[in-house]
Amino acid sequence: MIISYIHWNINPEIINILGISLRYYGILFVGGLVICIYILKQIFKKESIPLPKLEKLTVYGFIGIFVGARLGHCLFYEPTYYLTHPLEMILPIQPTLEGGYKFAGYQGLASHGGAIGLILALIIFACKTNEPIAKLLDLIGIVAPLGGCFIRLANLMNSEIIGTPTNVPWGFIFVREDNIPRHPSQLYEAIAYLLIFILNYYFYKIKFKKINSGFFFGLSLSLIFIARFLIEFIKEKQVAFENQMSLDMGQILSFPFIVIGIGFIIYGLKKQQCL
């Protein structure tokens, strides 16, 4: 039997003008947010929430996700380097051999940090607008997995966060890395997050008025990070220090989110029983 693996050799850079790069990652990251905002707009209309609040929420959410994801990568995965190079933590630059700096884009973003940043942004937004925090978390929880799907597709276009070697017929050979067939772990996660979004949206359409108060947020949070925890077993280690660990950093950081998510699910169901 002859197995023809998928040879993946996409250039992550679409175009470069005067040293400024347009990349698939940025397009998919922003595109995912735009689609999530569109879906949220329909939900806000259905829930009779003024649309100007969605505009403010978008700003808070974008800043929270981006800042949290960037700081999460720097502090969770490469703290030694970035704490001694703080300028590179906040600016999209890298040092050159000549001693200066060049524009390089933000090369590291961590989903765990993005989740923390988003939650903090929602709490601040809720305090400023007097919106119930549980309801906001639920609404964002419905679309958050879809955003995660787009981010993992962006990772695929970058040939990063690659899987471990495999002989399955759908294995990817990431030519920019090596010539070894590997699990397309980015694609696995993207599909898992898409299915979680579909499940959340289905429950929202049929049961939102009956089950809320954090239930959807908890369901989204727990399922996303359960999927992340399991798929990490077939991912290559992202940083060298993980080679000495039985569970990698992504799995360790997923535990609190899974526990918190289950807690919100239980709280949402119990609160419904009391109504």
DSSP state of 235: B
In a domain, 37, yes or no: yes
**Domain count of the fold of the chain:** 1
Phi, psi of 134 (to 5 degrees): -65, -40
In a domain, 262, yes or no: yes
In a domain, 29, yes or no: yes
pLDDT of residue 103: 66
125 contacts: CB under 8 Å, gap ≥ 6: 56, 57, 60, 61, 131, 136
In a domain, 1, yes or no: no
Return the biggest CA–CA distance within the chain: 67
Residue type, 147: G
Residue pair 205/146 in contact by the 8 Å Cβ criterion: no
Residue 18, sorted as left (phi over 0), alpha (psi -120 to 50) or beta, turns out to be left
In a domain, 177, yes or no: yes
| DSSP three-state, residue 167 | coil
Class of residue 128 by CB neighbours under 10 A (exposed 0-12, middle 13-18, buried 19+): exposed
In a domain, 16, yes or no: yes
* pLDDT tens for the 275 residues of the chain, in order: 556 789 999 998 888 777 677 889 889 988 998 999 999 999 988 888 888 888 888 889 889 988 888 888 888 888 888 888 888 787 777 777 777 776 666 667 788 888 899 889 989 998 888 888 888 899 899 999 999 999 999 999 999 999 999 999 999 999 999 999 999 999 999 999 999 999 999 988 887 666 667 889 999 999 999 999 999 999 998 877 788 888 888 899 899 999 999 999 988 887 665 54
CB-side exposure of 177: number of CA atoms within 13 Å?
A: 21
Domain of residue 165: give its range.
Answer: 6-274
17 contacts: CB under 8 Å, gap ≥ 6: none
Class of residue 268 by CB neighbours under 10 A (exposed 0-12, middle 13-18, buried 19+): buried
CA torsion sign, 160 to 164 to 170 to 175?
A: positive
In a domain, 264, yes or no: yes
Closest CA to 249 of 133, 70, 38, 75: 75
pLDDT of residue 15: 87
Any idea which residue has 């727990």 for tokens?
222
